[in-house]
Amino acid sequence: MSERIRADVTIVGGGIVGSAAALFLCRFGLSVVLLERGLCGAAASGVNYGGVRTQGRPVSQLPLALRARRIWERLPEFIGIDGEYLASGHLKLARSEADLHSLQAYRERVREHGLDLHLITGRAFREAYPWLGDRAIAGSFCAQDGHANPRLVSPAFARAAQAAGARVIERCEVTQLEHTGAGFVASDGRGLEVRSPWLLNCAGAWALDVARRFGDSAPMTSIHPGMAVTEPVPRFMDVNVGVEGGGIYGRQTERGNCVMGGSRGVGKGSFYAQPSTVAMEQLCRDMAQLFPPLANAHVIRFWSGVEGSLPDHQPVIGPSPGTPQLLHAFGFCGAGFQTGPAVGEALAELVHLGRSSAPLDAFSMDRFAPDIAQSTPAAAGSRPRPPHAPQARLTEERD
Ligand SMILES: Cc1cc2nc3c(=O)[nH]c(=O)nc-3n(C[C@H](O)[C@H](O)[C@H](O)COP(=O)(O)OP(=O)(O)OC[C@H]3O[C@@H](n4cnc5c(N)ncnc54)[C@H](O)[C@@H]3O)c2cc1C
């Protein structure tokens, strides 16, 4: 069967970013087709650690992260479920005086940007977190951060977009993409063809395959964070925990499983990744040391995932340097679950309003292509609305 669809916007990639963009575009009244190679929310967006934290973000990402926080706090209004989102707070641990100084400096730096952090040291720290091992000497607490279940949240964004009017097509790999001069044409090589004036590249770690069709590129590589989860144990960890300098992070679900992350896994081809055995052994040792109640807990699963990363640890979000009405959003460097909903909202704003409420300049693709940037007048986040911005509703033609 062949099918031709016309829409205002085509989105490649049904992770949390593409699905959130679809949802917000529908809320603006635009017609959307979301094309996903596998199942929506099954790639990085569904296998991640589930950390929903603003603490530790670079200053440039705070407006987006704080905007995302407002969505997380009202999640059921957007996606119909709470996604096990828990505003538990996020505690970043210091294991040395140098770590503590670094946490203090960060707190000063982000205060004026609206991030309110509370340093806890000495006896107050021990009394507040008696379940932590001796290596932790202090912590920086962000009360509004938390964690959620990515397996529930990310597919729910796609379902919410569908309920809001988006045409969501799963098991549909976009293999052909072009701009005809009149607009974009995306097809799967099996008879499906989608035409639209706008194209959103939300293809995660595979986004360069899309970008390169239009002469765009960025130095993205794939990373594979290592993850583990224990059997359910009696509740003790009432906050989402990270460590200054990285290495290990942990959270406990309502039903008692402790989800741990740390180190990097190994890519298995382009689509899959598995944790490294040596790194997981180390993670288990670190886990028992940092969280003594887990010393005898069984780990019931190890896993990893595929995520795009860029050298400056900032994503690419915004217009293509060379192709009007093509927007990219990828390379979240292991931290795009929290910001994903706000990235989707920003993309929708760029399409509908011609600008995003959150500043996106730091994420411009131009930073990797200065020669292209010089010939491109508009900057991310402030691009004027094109004269032929879409108005038409979605129409379908079936052969
Ligand atoms: C193990 C792990 C732990 C992480 N932990 C956290 C965390 O605690 N907190 C946090 O904020 N972030 C975390 N992240 C990062 C976060 O998961 C990602 O940044 C975020 O999910 C990226 O969302 P996305 O929609 O851009 O990409 P993805 O979820 O990867 O979605 C991209 C989608 O595009 C589809 N696609 C690609 N090419 C095509 C094509 N040609 N045609 C059709 N579809 C296509 C793919 O199938 C995929 O479903 C973690 C990531 C991993 C892997």
CA dihedral 26, 27, 30, 31 (to 10 degrees): 20
Q: Indicate if 279 and 327 belong to the same structural domain.
A: no
For 208, phi then psi, to 5°, come to: -70, -30
C-beta neighbour count of 371 within 10 angstroms: 8
How many A from CA of 202 to the centre of ligand 1?
9
What is the extent of the structural domain holding 23? 3-46+151-218+311-398
Res. 394: pLDDT tops 70:
no
User: How many A from CA of 139 to the centre of ligand 1?
Assistant: 29
The model's pLDDT over 56-71, given as tens digits with 9 standing for 90+, comes to 999 999 999 999 999 9
| Residue whose CA lies nearest to ligand 1 atom number 2 | 48
CATH number of the domain at 326, please.
Answer: 3.50.50.60
Q: Are residues 208 and 242 in the same domain?
A: no
**pLDDT classification of 380: cutoffs 50, 70, 90:** very low
The answer to whether position 73 is within a domain reads no
Q: What is the DSSP letter of 247?
A: S
pLDDT of residue 4: 97
**Confidence class of residue 208 from pLDDT cuts 50, 70 and 90?**
very high
Phi, psi of 372 (to 5 degrees): -70, -40
Residue 216 has pLDDT above 80, yes or no: yes
Let me know whether 157 and 136 are in one domain. no
Q: Looking at the structure, do residues 247 and 365 belong to the same domain, yes or no?
A: no
Any domain includes 255? yes
What H or E segment, with its residue span, contains residue 57? none
* Of 34, 55, 64, 206, best ligand 1 pocket probe by most atoms within 8 Å of the beta carbon: 206
User: Are both 287 and 266 inside the same structural domain?
Assistant: yes
Structural domain contains residue 233: yes
Closest ligand 1 atom, residue 304 Cα: 1
- Which stretch of DSSP H or E encloses residue 18? helix 16-27
What does the pLDDT read at residue 270? 87
Determine which residue's CA is closest to atom 38 belonging to ligand 1.
203
132 lies in the same domain as 229:
yes
Ligand 1 centre distance from Cα of residue 16 (Å): 7
- Per residue in 12-27, pLDDT (tens digit) is 999 999 999 999 999 9
Q: How far apart are CA 214 and CA 118, in angstroms?
A: 46
Report the pLDDT value the prediction gives residue 295, as an integer from 0 to 100. Answer: 95
pLDDT at res. 211: 98
Task: Tell which residue, 341, 274, 305, 304, has the closest CA to residue 205.
Answer: 305
Which residue type occupies 315? P
Q: Residue type for 166, please? A: A
Rounded to the nearest whole angstrom, what is the distance from the C-alpha of residue 43 to the centroid of ligand 1? 5
Can you give the CATH number for the domain in which 255 is found?
A: 3.30.9.10
Return contacts of 345-348, CB within 8 angstroms, 24+ apart. Answer: 345/20, 345/21, 345/24, 345/67, 345/71, 346/64, 346/67, 346/317, 346/381, 347/17, 347/21, 347/24, 347/25, 347/200, 347/202, 347/317, 348/21, 348/24, 348/25, 348/27, 348/28, 348/30
Checking if the pLDDT of 257 tops 60, the result is: yes
Res. 393: pLDDT tops 90: no
Residue 54 falls inside a structural domain = no
- 208 and 157, same structural domain? yes
- What pLDDT was estimated at residue 88? 98
Q: Which residue has the higher pLDDT, 112 or 369?
A: 112
Please check whether residues 240 and 385 belong to one and the same domain. no
| 370 pLDDT tier (thresholds 50, 70, 90) | low
Q: Whose alpha carbon is nearest atom 4 of ligand 1?
A: 48
Rounded to an integer, the average pLDDT of 202-214 is: 98
In a domain, residue 64? The reply is: no
Helix and strand numbers, DSSP H then E, in the chain: 11, 25
Question: Does residue 83 lie in a domain region?
Answer: no
> What phi and psi values does residue 260 have, to the nearest 5 degrees?
-120, 145
Final residue in a domain of this structure, among 243, 269, 304: 304
Residue 134 CA to ligand 1 centre (angstroms): 35
Please tell me the predicted confidence (pLDDT) of residue 301. Answer: 97
Residue 1 confidence (pLDDT): 58
Domain boundary among 304, 322, 338: 304
Q: Which atom, in ligand 1's list, is nearest to the CA of 17? A: 25
Q: Are residues 315 and 284 in the same domain?
A: no
Domain assignment present for residue 84? The answer is: no
The C-alpha R_g of the chain, in whole angstroms, comes to 21
**Do 293 and 237 sit in the same domain of this protein?**
yes
What integer best gives the mean pLDDT of the chain?
A: 92
**β-bridge mates for residue 118, sequence order:** 141
Residues 135 and 242 placed together within one structural domain of the fold: yes
Gap from CA of 118 to ligand 1 centroid (Å): 31
Of all residues in the chain, the percent with pLDDT exceeding 70 is: 92
Q: What are phi and psi of 172, to 5 degrees?
A: -135, 100
**Averaged pLDDT for residues 355-378:** 76
Distance in angstroms (rounded) separating the CA atoms of residues 73 and 86: 9
Residue 399 Cα to ligand 1 midpoint, Å, equals: 34
- Cα(297) to ligand 1 centroid in Å equals 29
* Domain tally, the chain: 2
Q: Based on the fold, state whether residues 161 and 231 are members of the same structural domain.
A: no
Compare 383 and 44 and report the one with higher pLDDT.
44
Mutate to test the pocket of ligand 1, among 10, 35, 48 (most ligand atoms within 8 A of CB): 48
Cβ density class 235-264: b for 16+ within 10 Å, e for less: ebbebbbbbbeeebbbbbbeeebbbbbbbe
Asked which of 276, 304, 332 is the last residue of a domain, the reply is: 304
Residue with tokens 């990373």: 223
Asked if 54 contacts 62 with a C-beta cutoff of 8 angstroms, the reply is: yes
Report residues whose beta carbon is within 6 angstroms of any ligand 1 atom.
Answer: 12-18, 35-38, 43-45, 47-51, 173-174, 202-206, 225, 227, 304-305, 307, 330, 332, 334-338, 340
| Higher per-residue confidence, 374 vs 128 | 128
Residue 85 lies in a domain: no
Mean pLDDT, rounded, for 108-133: 97
